Structure 1
């Protein structure tokens, strides 16, 4: 963690292409991850975004203003090492996907879920080759094994950098299908985020907004938008 506490010592930030990928150098010194691994990145656009974050640092390095750097560090230091475990954890969302568990009442909410969530399940059938089944109520009922295996294989096929971003797309939306929908540009990332909050927005309509809940939701929204941006850099 000491790397995050360092003061700015550099004058020049450069993106360098190497045999291992793109990296960022500070006055000719390659940036390292917190685990001291090389920061080798899959694309120039990702490296340039990270370079902008380092260039923007003033007296001391503030990781809270460096989301791309943090995501790249997570991909290299964590996801790359535990790729199978992370992929399995995210694939498990398919068996309890947000989009599949529908309200029984009131009628207006049931109708809204059908109108807004069914198109995402339709998209998954055509784009991913999987049709997840809807359930009324909260009682868990397992999805078909073949569908789950198809989704699991697609998650495992993601690179470490993709998976680092995909983790947030899925965990923050509560939906493996919405995670894929965001990654594959089914609709705008803002629309997909709104779909993931359908139930919360319904509650706000009925009882009024809660300032604390809205502030927390905005933090998550920004993180979701960043995850999509980082995924696209891959």
Structure 2
């Protein structure tokens, strides 16, 4: 049941196994997506997280307090039916990856970008055989077709639940390479998020912080960290 405007009617929330996956029931009634699809979940960890969100409802269902449920709904109702289109959208970031565009000036900013971003590009070259070209300024730089194809293959290889997380990791950071790195346990997501914001942080140091910009950045950071968490509980069975 979608239940976004419903008041709490259930007493018990239970994680159940079904068809090789997991689900959640409310008084033995299966939770469904807004499109009325079965909420078939890939891991027990995700089912338990969703069950906890429904258990925490006191009076009315508030989707803002149920991020894992929202993510699962998106994976089932939106991403899965148009998987190839979403994957291609995300893979396209490789052609204009943030990590490939360095500041023309000041030199200190360009050096800081290189120190943080070159190891990530080296990782992508080693992990996927996908070496990307680097430039300074905003004029587009052509990328090797083979590298883009290999990065796209990596995107297409994930599940709909993982792609839901990867979509946010990439779109929020502006980098396919950084987004892919955020799916790996060896990378700290907080560090990756900071690495995606060199330009913004540099401007803030020079001209001071804007309260609205800081608040917006904090929300994006929280969404980025949640996307990493959603990936983890999507991929636990791998």
How would you bin the TM-score normalised by the shorter chain?
A: over 0.9
Partner of 1:22: 22
Following superposition, the deviation at residue 3 of structure 1 comes to 2.7
TM-score by length of 1: 0.98
Contact between 2:178 and 2:192, CA under 8 Å: does it hold in 1?
A: yes
For 2:7 and 2:20, the matched residues in 1 are separated by 28
Indicate the SS of the match to 1:164.
helix
Partner of 1:84: 84
For 1:154 and 1:123, the matched residues in 2 are separated by 14
Which runs of no fewer than 5 residues in structure 1 stay unpaired? none
Partner of 1:74: 74
Partner of 1:51: 51
Partner of 1:131: 131
Contact between 1:20 and 1:40, CA under 8 Å: does it hold in 2?
A: no
Contact between 1:79 and 1:160, CA under 8 Å: does it hold in 2?
A: yes
TM-score by length of 2: 0.96
**Aligned-CA RMSD value:** 1.1
For 2:167 and 2:209, the matched residues in 1 are separated by 28
Following superposition, the deviation at residue 20 of structure 1 comes to 4.5
Superposition pairs for residues 181-192 of structure 1, below 5 Å? 181-192=181-192
Contact between 1:13 and 1:51, CA under 8 Å: does it hold in 2?
A: yes
For 2:222 and 2:2, the matched residues in 1 are separated by 27
Contact between 1:90 and 1:171, CA under 8 Å: does it hold in 2?
A: yes
Partner of 2:226: 226
Which runs of no fewer than 5 residues in structure 2 stay unpaired? none
For 1:59 and 1:211, the matched residues in 2 are separated by 34
For 1:72 and 1:209, the matched residues in 2 are separated by 35
Partner of 1:164: 164
Indicate the SS of the match to 1:3.
coil
Contact between 2:6 and 2:60, CA under 8 Å: does it hold in 1?
A: yes
For 2:231 and 2:190, the matched residues in 1 are separated by 15
Following superposition, the deviation at residue 136 of structure 1 comes to 1.2
Partner of 1:199: 199
Contact between 2:2 and 2:31, CA under 8 Å: does it hold in 1?
A: no
Following superposition, the deviation at residue 2 of structure 1 comes to 6.8
Q: Aligned residues, how many?
A: 234
Partner of 2:3: 3
Indicate the SS of the match to 1:61.
coil
For 1:177 and 1:136, the matched residues in 2 are separated by 18
Partner of 1:179: 179
Indicate the SS of the match to 1:217.
helix
Cα distance per residue 1:154-206 (max 9 Å; x no partner): 10111100000000000000000001100023421111111111111111111
Contact between 1:124 and 1:130, CA under 8 Å: does it hold in 2?
A: yes
**1:147 lines up with 2:143 in the alignment:** no
